[in-house]
Structure 1
Amino acid sequence: MSTYLISFPGPAMRVDPEDLPQVSADADAATREARDAGVLVFAGGIDNAVGPVMVAADGTVTEGTYPQTREFDGGFTVVDVESREEALRWAARFARACRCPQEVREIR
């Protein structure tokens, strides 16, 4: 089994406000399918109302994220599957549900 992160940045999801309830229901259904299939490790979305902080090795906390990266503010799912191809099939399922492309990365 291999573990994959399936994710998208918040701005990638361009959905009309009246469609949000259906998108949410579809995303919940896709997550339930992954759980029922026994491949779901974790799924969630970043709370845009709470800004990120950086914590240094000495415990110093500063507002913001790495300067060279843009903030990650979308949603993500972690799946544990037999193959990359299976991860890509799940990514396609989440892309349909969320109405936006999904990035797939293997976790080591």
Structure 2
Amino acid sequence: MPHYLIYFNQQWVGDHDEAWFESRVDPSTAVVRDMQDQGVLVYAGGLVEELEEAASADATSGELLVTDGPFAETKEWLGGLTIVDVPDDQAARMWAGRVAEGCGWPQEVRRFKAGSLQALAVGG
């Protein structure tokens, strides 16, 4: 089955108080649980928001350069992602909608190119 990336940019989250974010824990956790129960979840997780904790690696010059911070000046950056293994675009869009409802902010969904996702052995 194809793999799909469901993701959001941190700026799509919006400004909310702590109580609002706490109100999203149960609905978003329920979606992840449903994905696990359906056997479609490959990975889900949010990223640290502080860009100063990011690092970039660039080998385009022929020499590897690893630097602190994001690769380029940007106004948007990735906030979190989910990878699902589902049969088709319709199923991927359904799960993206479920994630958007659970989290309370928009999500984008895109299919990985065929053969581009390598399976990782977790814990072994």
Same fold (TM over 0.5): yes
Shorter-chain-normalised TM-score: which range?
0.7 to 0.9
Instruction: Check whether the contact 1:5–1:79 (CA below 8 A) recurs between aligned residues.
Output: yes
- 3-state SS of 1:74 partner: strand
Taking CA–CA contacts closer than 8 Å with sequence separation of 6 or more, which of the two structures ends up with the larger relative contact order?
1
1:41-91 C-alpha deviation (Å, 9 max, x unpaired): 000000114622112334431122232654524121000000000000000
Shift >6 Å, 4+ stretches: none
Offset at residue 30 of structure 1 (A): 0.7
CA RMSD of aligned residues (A): 1.8
- 3-state SS of 2:29 partner: helix
Name the residue aligned to 1:84.
89
- 3-state SS of 1:4 partner: strand
- 3-state SS of 2:31 partner: helix
Given the alignment, which residue of 102, 105, 108 partners 2:107?
A: 102
For structure 2, list consecutive stretches of 5 or more residues without a partner in the other structure.
114-124
For structure 1, list consecutive stretches of 5 or more residues without a partner in the other structure.
none
Name the residue aligned to 2:19.
18
TM-score by length of 2: 0.77
TM-score by length of 1: 0.87
Larger radius of gyration: 2
- 2:61 equivalent to 1:60: no
Bigger shift: residues 45-54 or 21-30: 45-54
Name the residue aligned to 2:4.
4
